[in-house]
């Protein structure tokens, strides 16, 4: 079991959405200090003000995590400010909800950088200290889209598949060190943060409540769970996809579950087929 009490936590995309909720809940659960990385200064200032007003120790930093040089530079600053990071939550994510043919090269790079490459670079910057110290936990927010292809989510799905494969590989490598190092990979369905505003769902695959899913993630940290797959049907996807022929799975996911039509009315946070969290 991973203890939260007295730990230093770093959350990317921690000024809004589930990142903000996780930070607040971890502080209330006894975390010593919280480092928040976010690109949105307005949200960052507001969140840090609220948390500091509650008596918590918070270190907010504005950063575009797609800029690897800035990530490396800021990681050095964080280590000087707070010492080693004990719990790292790679939460920041973006989506470009368009068909692949309508995407720009810039949009492709941005989604891949934020959703997969950035978490690798960020983790690498803090990993050596985690290995030396032991008793550390890394949470990587992937997505159910890391298991299932979906129209208007091609690059998002690609980024989350990459995040999933990397996260699982990292977990195995760290377990081989036998130093109480843990990785939890989170693969949720759509969450009601506004990032996926306009998406459609059905009773079999309900849109997740941000408050409830953050509780599940924090319990997973405490209990060193390997995966958080929510809602219930997502837990079965790897098995079902593995045993069904591709065309049968397409029929099940597209016609029965409606996944392939879920992005038809997507508008995202900005109302321009783009979302970020």
Q: What is the DSSP string of 189-232?
A: --BTTTTTTT---BTTBPPBPHHHHHHHHHHHHHTT-SEEEESH
pLDDT in tens, 98-132: 999 999 999 999 999 999 999 999 999 999 999 99
In terms of DSSP bridges, do strands 181-188 and 136-141 run parallel, antiparallel, or are they unpaired?
A: parallel
Could you say which of 147, 156, 190, 260 is catalytic? 156
pLDDT digits (tens, 9 = 90+) for 241-256: 999 999 999 999 999 9
Number of continuous H segments (helices) and E segments (strands) in the chain: 9, 9
Is the pLDDT at 271 greater than 70? The verdict is no
190 catalytic per annotation = no
Superfamily grouping for domain 8-276: NAD(P)-binding Rossmann-like Domain (3.40.50.720)
How many residues in the chain? Answer: 277
181 contacts 136 by C-beta, under 8 angstroms: yes
pTM summary value: 0.94
- Count of C-beta atoms within a 10 Å radius of residue 132: 10
Contacts of 17 (CB under 8 A, 6+ apart): 91, 191, 193, 194, 195, 210, 277
Please report, for the chain, the start and end positions of each structural domain, with discontinuous segments joined by +.
8-276
């Amino acid at each position: 079991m991973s203890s939260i009490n007295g730990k230093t936590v770093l959350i990317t995309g921690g000024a809004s959405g589930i990142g903000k909720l996780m930070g607040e809940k971890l502080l209330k659960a006894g975390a010593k200090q919280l480092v928040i990385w976010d690109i949105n200064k307005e949200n960052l200032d507001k969140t840090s003000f609220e948390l500091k007003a509650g008596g918590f120790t918070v270190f907010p930093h504005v950063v575009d995590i797609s800029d690897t040089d800035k990530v490396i530079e800021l990681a050095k600053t964080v280590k000087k400010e707070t010492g080693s990071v004990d719990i790292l939550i790679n939460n920041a994510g973006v989506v470009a909800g368009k068909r692949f043919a309508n995407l720009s090269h810039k949009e492709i790079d941005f989604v891949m950088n934020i959703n997969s490459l950035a978490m690798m670079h960020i983790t690498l910057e803090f990993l050596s200290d985690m290995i030396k110290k032991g008793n550390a936990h890394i949470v990587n927010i992937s997505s159910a889209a890391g298991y299932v292809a979906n129209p208007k989510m091609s690059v998002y799905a690609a980024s989350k598949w990459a995040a999933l494969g990397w996260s699982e590989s990292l977990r195995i490598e760290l377990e081989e060190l036998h130093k109480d190092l843990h990785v939890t990979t989170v693969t949720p369905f759509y969450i009601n943060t506004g990032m996926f505003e306009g998406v459609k769902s059905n009773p079999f695959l309900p849109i997740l409540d941000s408050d409830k899913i953050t509780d599940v993630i924090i319990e997973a940290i405490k209990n060193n769970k390997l995966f958080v797959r929510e809602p219930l049907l997502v837990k079965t996807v790897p098995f079902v996809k593995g045993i069904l022929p591709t065309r049968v799975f397409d029929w099940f996911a597209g016609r029965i579950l409606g996944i392939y039509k879920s992005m038809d009315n997507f508008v995202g946070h900005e109302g321009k087929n783009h979302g970020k969290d």
